[in-house]
Amino acid sequence: MADVSILGAGPAGAWAAYSLARRGARVALVDPTHPREKPCGGGVTGRALALVAGAFDIAALPACVIRTARFIDASSRAGAVVDLAAAGLTPATSLVVASRTSFDGLLLAAARDAGAEIVAARVTDLVARPGGFLIHTTSGSHTAACIVGADGANSLVRRRLARPFRRDQLSIATGYFAHGVTGDEIVVELVDDPPGYMWSFPRPTHLAAGICAQADTGVTARTLRARVRDWIHEQGLAPGARLEPYSWPIPSLAPRDFDALEVSGPRWCLAGDAAGLVDPITREGIFFALLSGEWAAEALASDDADPWRRYRERVRDEIGSELARAARFKASFFRPRFTRLMVEALQQSAGVRAVMADLVAGRQSYAQLKWRLARTFEVGLAWRLFARARRRA
Ligand SMILES: Cc1cc2nc3c(=O)[nH]c(=O)nc-3n(C[C@H](O)[C@H](O)[C@H](O)COP(=O)(O)OP(=O)(O)OC[C@H]3O[C@@H](n4cnc5c(N)ncnc54)[C@H](O)[C@@H]3O)c2cc1C
């Protein structure tokens, strides 16, 4: 019997397994899919890289270091380029973009080397019983004293032990991998319908381009993907490239959902996407998957009488509160009035560009965002933008 069975070997599960195995726990990490690509931008922020830096040589990760971020306001077609190096970011603190085959593969190898047992099977069911769980998989059944559900947005653990995400708590992300094209610039077009952005992220052998919309808006993945295809052509991002379509759900919670996160119970906890820990504005999920995986391991390996409660409180207090702030901010973030103003401010102010660079690299908290923007925003620039907005109105 394993002390801990971890279901799902994405960043949350592999990192929880690594962190637990290094603390001497007997860990089984169950996932049938590796090596595999995951439909994802593959943007790994400096703060995410810092978490895993001790586990493997970051230089061994085939990745594109992003040097510039181009922002386009869909309503005015105006654009601005943010030079991340000029804003003070180094390759170690900036954003890198990697294929998830490579990134998740390195994490899995680190977990294996640390002593976790890798079980290449799909979990088909799990049953709570005295002292633990009976876990049924496609390669047989085993027991575990406790489980970590790191099995993504469609989490079986979540469905069995908590409750599945409602449709309004999910968004659908869809787009294309454009093969044979790469670079060192991300392109982000801010749109208000659906509120969010279209993106193009260069990986070593292809671009990942996509769009995201709340699942309950009624718009289909097909319609969204057609829009991405038009955008790729219109922006000249990948002339002649073979386009491979993808679609995948992302948890996209509202402020009230973050305030009431249900991420653990006796002998079980959820981490990463299964717990709903994705930034509703940037859709950054890899960092929160790694962090929650690490915190799950820390709680389980502690001598706390109730590690499940300790984990739940930490996630709610430190991640939930920050993501709730992002979710509240989101309502105004993608309005044309704001995005137009933001792109104009990016064109004109090095201070605002530095704030945006830090947002891209995951170094800017939402708690401090308004305050920092207010401090950065020069009075003259604010006045010019305000006057222009009034003239337009
Ligand atoms: C299109 C798109 C773009 C994104 N772009 C970015 C980005 O640029 N940067 C960023 O930080 N985040 C991004 N995200 C979010 C990011 O992909 C996720 O937040 C992150 O992968 C979460 O990691 P995880 O380990 O929780 O789950 P996952 O990475 O989804 O891993 C879950 C694992 O569980 C396994 N599993 C599922 N069910 C079972 C089962 N029954 N039995 C065994 N194993 C099972 C799966 O095979 C999978 O390997 C994006 C997401 C999407 C969809």
C-alpha of residue 258 to centroid of ligand 1, in Å:
19
In-domain check, residue 186: no
CB 310 near ligand 1, within 6 Å: no
In-domain check, residue 51: yes
In-domain check, residue 284: yes
In-domain check, residue 105: yes
| Higher local confidence (pLDDT), 53 or 380 | 53
In-domain check, residue 152: yes
pTM of the model: 0.95
Total domains, the chain? 1
Average pLDDT over residues 368-383: 72
CB 221 near ligand 1, within 6 Å: no
- Can you tell me which residue has the tokens 């637990």? 20
Q: What percent of the chain has pLDDT over 90?
A: 83
- Predicted confidence (pLDDT) at residue 285 exceeds the cutoff of 80: yes
In-domain check, residue 123: yes
Nearest CA to ligand 1 atom 27: 152
The Cα–Cα gap between 372 and 360 comes to: 15
Task: Give the residue among 46, 107, 284, 255 at the shortest CA–CA distance from 169.
Answer: 255
C-alpha of residue 4 to centroid of ligand 1, in Å:
21
- For residue 289, what is the domain's CATH number? 3.50.50.60
What is the extent of the structural domain holding 310?
A: 2-59+100-166+254-330
Q: What is the CA radius of gyration of the chain?
A: 21
Q: At 93, which helix (H) or strand (E)? A: none
- Predicted confidence (pLDDT) at residue 81 exceeds the cutoff of 80: yes
C-alpha of residue 264 to centroid of ligand 1, in Å:
19
In-domain check, residue 41: yes
The Cα–Cα gap between 39 and 247 comes to: 7
In-domain check, residue 336: no
Q: Would you call 222 helix, strand, or coil by DSSP?
A: helix
pLDDT band at 313 (very low <50, low <70, confident <90, very high): very high
The Cα–Cα gap between 169 and 156 comes to: 16
CB 43 near ligand 1, within 6 Å: yes
pLDDT tens-digit map of 88-143: 898 888 899 999 999 999 999 999 999 999 999 999 999 999 999 999 999 999 99
pLDDT tens-digit map of 133-183: 999 999 999 999 999 999 999 999 999 999 999 999 999 999 999 999 999
